[in-house]
Structure 1
Amino acid sequence: MEIVVVGRHTEVADRFRQHVEEKLAKVELLSPYVRRVDVEITRENNPRLSDNRERVELTLRAKGPVIRAEAAADDRFGALDLAIDKLNERLRRAHDRRKNRRNTKVTPPVDVRPLDEILTEDGGTDEAEPQISTPAALSEPGDSVETTIGDSPVVIRQKLHHADPMTLDDAVYEMEMVGHDFYLFIDKETSRPSVLYKRKGWTFGVIQLDNPCTGAPVTDLT
């Protein structure tokens, strides 16, 4: 298993790199097919965020969906422990899913109402949003870039991902594995770009575009 540790806006000491390798050594017990774990450490310099100034993001790449976990704390060692706890929980859930794969699948309720009705209930507005263009530099899956909107302090991180068509059930599963509130995917049945997102309680919503695509890489604004 390869472990790659990188720092964003911060240096990573050899002592911490060694600590990461020791803490991640047990990952192979829960995911025997893991090939690589990417560890990204980000330091927040804003004094108001001192309690969460160190953020650790773990991305596990193995046979099957990518599994991601992240956490923040006042020091990177504590953030790493929290992130590993989340990662291990998602690995256990993935293991249980594989074990029960043959059982009947139950897909959570999906909101299929018109988009304007969904936005009205969820507090959406018709106000114009700043326009963000996709940089030409994003040409290969995995490419990412950060841009700002005019003179504002808003920073937009864009990353290109390869998109294989999948079912709605698989999209729900993979969204839970990465711990996000939304998931962008290509619907296997309709070939439409779709966004799955969490609503209230245990319900989910899906927004689809009416233009089918061929499974080309997609841009994720995260």
Structure 2
Amino acid sequence: MRVIVSGKNISVRPSIREYIEGKLDKFDKYFNSDVDVKVTLGVERDRHTVEITMPLKHGVTFRAEETSEDMYSSIDMVMDKLTKQMRKHKTKIEKRYHKHDSIKTAAIPDYEGETEESKIVRTKSFPIKPMDPEEAVLQMEMLNHDFFVFLNGDTDEVNVVYIRKDGNYGLIEPTM
């Protein structure tokens, strides 16, 4: 496992790098040596953000992000999230009797939370009227939602507008 640490608005001190690598060492036994772990540290005002991404073979990616007022607390919280994700993934793999060669599941402790598969608990239907993306953004803001599904009047296809973490808007257009 290779660890790549980078910083946004922060210079990564050797002590923080060593702390992260020490925490990630416990995951080393789960992965083959060809896994690249990307750690991004960021500071905005008094908020310290840690994001860890572990892309594996077969399209599996573990990703966690945490923000707090202390960098070391953020690192600890993001490690807890990753541990939970790995346990949940191990349970899913065992249920399907499908083994991936990029993650060794034998060493991961069993997941002690809910082991049932996710299920749809609510279905909602609504009429879709043709509109342009700008009107869809206005509708989304009026409803105070994070996303809005609409029929694009120009293309006659179903599109989705959503609010991004940076405060801007995104548009999802399906392609075949």
TM-score by length of 1: 0.47
Specify whether residues 55 and 126 from structure 1 end up closer, same or farther in structure 2 by C-alpha distance, changes over 3 A only.
closer
Checking the alignment, whether the CA contact within 8 Å between 2:2 and 2:33 is kept in structure 1 is: no
Q: Does 1:22 align with 2:16?
A: no
Kindly provide the amino acid, as one letter, of the partner of residue 81 in structure 1.
Answer: D
Checking the alignment, whether the CA contact within 8 Å between 1:6 and 1:41 is kept in structure 2 is: yes
Which sections of structure 2, spanning at least 5 residues, go unmatched?
A: 99-115, 130-135, 145-165
State the Cα distance separating 1:74 from its structure 2 match.
Answer: 1.6
Q: Does 1:213 align with 2:164?
A: no
Query: Partner of 1:71 in structure 2?
Result: 66
Query: Partner of 2:2 in structure 1?
Result: 2
Checking the alignment, whether the CA contact within 8 Å between 2:10 and 2:42 is kept in structure 1 is: yes
Instruction: Spell out, residue by residue over 1:179-206, the C-alpha distance to the aligned partner (whole angstroms, 9 max, x if none).
Output: xxxxx9xxxxxxxx7xxxxxxxxxxxxx
Checking the alignment, whether the CA contact within 8 Å between 2:40 and 2:51 is kept in structure 1 is: yes
User: CA separation in 1, counterparts of 2:143 and 2:69?
Assistant: 38
Query: Partner of 1:114 in structure 2?
Result: 126
Task: State how many pairs are aligned.
Answer: 127
Matches for 1:24-103 after TM superposition, within 5 Å: 24-32=24-32, 35-45=35-45, 50=46, 53-63=47-57, 64-102=59-97
User: CA separation in 2, counterparts of 1:16 and 1:23?
Assistant: 11
Greater helix proportion: 2
Specify whether residues 101 and 34 from structure 1 end up closer, same or farther in structure 2 by C-alpha distance, changes over 3 A only.
farther
User: CA separation in 2, counterparts of 1:73 and 1:42?
Assistant: 11
State the Cα distance separating 1:44 from its structure 2 match.
Answer: 1.3
Q: Which moved more, 1:27-36 or 1:77-86?
A: 27-36
After TM superposition, where is structure 1 displaced by more than 6 Å over at least 4 residues in a row? none
User: CA separation in 2, counterparts of 1:19 and 1:67?
Assistant: 20
Checking the alignment, whether the CA contact within 8 Å between 1:31 and 1:91 is kept in structure 2 is: no
State the Cα distance separating 1:156 from its structure 2 match.
Answer: 4.0
Which sections of structure 1, spanning at least 5 residues, go unmatched?
A: 128-153, 159-183, 185-192, 194-208, 215-222
Query: Partner of 1:125 in structure 2?
Result: 142
Specify whether residues 40 and 22 from structure 1 end up closer, same or farther in structure 2 by C-alpha distance, changes over 3 A only.
same
State the Cα distance separating 1:62 from its structure 2 match.
Answer: 1.1
Kindly provide the amino acid, as one letter, of the partner of residue 94 in structure 1.
Answer: H
User: CA separation in 1, counterparts of 2:50 and 2:83?
Assistant: 15
SS of residue paired to 2:38: strand
Query: Partner of 2:111 in structure 1?
Result: none
User: CA separation in 2, counterparts of 1:33 and 1:213?
Assistant: 36
State the Cα distance separating 1:125 from its structure 2 match.
Answer: 2.8
SS of residue paired to 1:125: helix
